[in-house]
Amino acid sequence: MRAVVFLFLSALLSSACMASPPQDAPPHHTADGFRNDPPIEQNTLADFLRWQWNRLWKGIPALESYDFALAENDPAALRANREKTTLTWIGHATVLLQVDGKNILTDPHFSQRAAPVQWAGPKRALPPGLSLEELPHIDLVVISHNHYDALDAGSIERLAARPGGRQTLFVVPLGLKSWFADRGIQNVVELDWWQEARTDVLSVTAVPVQHWSKRSLFSKNETLWAGFSIRSAGFNFLFAGDSGYAPHHFREIGARLGPFDLAAIPIGAYAPRWFMAKHHVNPEEALRIHRDVRARRSVAIHWGTFILTDEPLDEPPMRLRQARENLGLPARAFEVLQHGETIFL
């Protein structure tokens, strides 16, 4: 929890307004980094302190009160797979996508805590659904932004140190390439919103979302945040990253790059709404994203792994199910997986 407090507090102590963008730069660029487009009002220090004070009296369930179970899977079959299209939810925003013989990871996080250190900060409710050692060779990694629950140094370094790890391609938002270079990782491509990178069989496009970035006390919004469209010859996938509900972005994503065969959409870390709504969607908004981007099928991510906000860890799936039923959608349209569960697509 101390790590979460540090991140929010340092964000609020930074300047709430970014400098004006250079002439002819995209509207989300500033002289000092990046901003949302259109810009959004920032929470204040008073807002943060109010949130933290209110948390003391809410009786938020302890991590030990949850009884999540890992799904049974077959790591050997996943390592051998070269033909089937699969998705495995490893936990939080980490999924393994297998398509056209390629293995893709989103926001890989295999450490015990989502924090700058491993002796304090938000702790996992249960182990990763696949351990890092059980993974197949990873061809592509996409990183949505630089918060500690999305960009985990230990996981990245261990991935790069695996046999063949130096051939893994990392695709990241603008400003993050130097972070990888500092760790001796050179096979990195930076993308601005709507820019595309290509491999032999994949096309990866960074798409706009509404969020923010910060890694240290004075680095607010120095690096960009993004979701990613990953397209092969026969499959179109959207990793929505981490975002508040921004219909202008998601409808444009759907219009320009959709429809999607599958989308991975966050459903957790949304309470209290007065503080979190700008940067994290709730389950009802996640369903709107599902429709905005024209996803044929979606899976829920960014829930059930770390206590980052005020809602119970097991609440998001219940709210999603109710909202889905209210819309008359079948369960398969927007699925909630167990940690480690694999679906065949």
Considering the domain 2-14+39-344, what is its CATH architecture? 4-Layer Sandwich (3.60)
pLDDT digits (tens, 9 = 90+) for 46-71: 998 999 999 998 989 999 999 999 99
Confidence category of residue 2, pLDDT binned at 50, 70, 90: very low
What is the pLDDT, as a whole number, of residue 6?
42
Let me know: does 152 contact 132? Beta carbons within 8 Å: no
Confidence category of residue 17, pLDDT binned at 50, 70, 90: very low
What is the pLDDT, as a whole number, of residue 20?
52
Is residue 328 predicted with pLDDT exceeding 50? yes
pTM of the model: 0.93
Average pLDDT over residues 198-220: 94
Supply the mean pLDDT for the chain: 93
What is the pLDDT, as a whole number, of residue 44?
86
One DSSP character per residue, 211-255 reads: ----SSTT-TTSS---EEEEE-SS-EEEE--S-B--HHHHHHHHH
Q: Which of 5-9, 57-61, 191-195, 326-330 has the lowest mean pLDDT?
A: 5-9
Is residue 315 predicted with pLDDT exceeding 90? yes
What is the pLDDT, as a whole number, of residue 344?
96
Q: Which of 11-25, 77-91, 210-224 has the lowest mean pLDDT?
A: 11-25
Residue spans of the domains in the chain: they are 2-14+39-344
- Percent of the chain surpassing pLDDT 70: 93
pLDDT digits (tens, 9 = 90+) for 68-104: 999 999 999 999 999 999 999 999 999 999 999 999 9
What is the pLDDT, as a whole number, of residue 330?
96
pLDDT digits (tens, 9 = 90+) for 155-176: 999 999 999 999 999 999 999 9
What is the pLDDT, as a whole number, of residue 229?
98
Confidence category of residue 217, pLDDT binned at 50, 70, 90: confident
* Range list of β-strands (E), the chain: 86-91, 94-99, 102-106, 140-142, 169-173, 188-191, 196-198, 203-207, 227-231, 236-239, 262-266, 298-301, 334-335, 342-344
What is the pLDDT, as a whole number, of residue 12?
45
Residue 132 to residue 142: CA distance in whole angstroms: 16
Of residues 218 and 56, which shows the higher confidence score? Answer: 56
Beta-strand pair 86-91/94-99? antiparallel
What is the pLDDT, as a whole number, of residue 216?
86
pLDDT digits (tens, 9 = 90+) for 222-271: 999 999 999 999 999 999 999 999 999 999 999 999 999 999 999 999 99
Let me know: does 66 contact 313? Beta carbons within 8 Å: yes
What is the pLDDT, as a whole number, of residue 25?
86
What is the pLDDT, as a whole number, of residue 23?
67
